[in-house]
Amino acid sequence: MAKRPYHHGDLRSALLTSAERTLREKGAAALALRELARETGVSHAAPGRHFKDKRALLDALAVVGFERLAGSLEEADDAEETLEHRLVAFARTYMDFALHNAELLDVMQTRKYDPNAPEELTTAVDRITAAFLRMIADGQDRGEVIPGDPARVSLVVVATLQGIATLVAHRSFPDATLEDLDEVVHHLVHGLAPR
């Protein structure tokens, strides 16, 4: 059997694409660097140039997911709108991501809490955190949100949206609609409003 060449163009990207497909179809337990090498058409050692082990691959997948989600959230945001409108747009974007990327969302949530997560992952998570902080700070400036540390206030928002997205992604609420999500955001916003 002839030895397969290493050269592949953009091997890292090809491996991540293949890994994401495997993740979606078979779950994280099925991810293996040797199998990804076979699927990508390179030697079994080639992925080691980009990912030293499965954990590094999962970290890279989490980064891809957080960057994709951050880009979608930033695209959905309109700083000129009310807090409620902005949160509804964020919530719908988050739910859409969760529905189409349930397995990836699981990897993202698991890897972000690892104390040994690489800086690239921390940076990707921080990009999403910053979007929520901006929104809360804007709401505070407009008198739509109670005063206080925006990071502490946004924790309520992030936990609520992340929790709902996770429940919906795992079909815990199979009949949930976007209107249900709008209602949750409405209650959330009016619970945050100053009295």
> Residue 21 has what pLDDT?
95
pLDDT class of 195 with cuts at 50, 70, 90: low
Cβ atoms of 49 and 15 within 8 Å: the answer is no
Q: How far apart are CA 23 and CA 62, in angstroms?
A: 12
> Residue 178 has what pLDDT?
66
Tell me the CA distances in angstroms from 166 to 53, 98, 170, 174, one per residue in order.
27, 7, 6, 12
48-75 pLDDT, tens digit each: 889 899 999 999 999 999 999 999 999 9
Cβ atoms of 122 and 130 within 8 Å: the answer is no
Name the pTM for this structure.
0.85
pLDDT at 141 over 60: yes
pLDDT class of 162 with cuts at 50, 70, 90: confident
Task: Using only the alpha carbons of the chain, give its radius of gyration.
Answer: 19
Kindly state the tokens that stand for 179: 């209107």
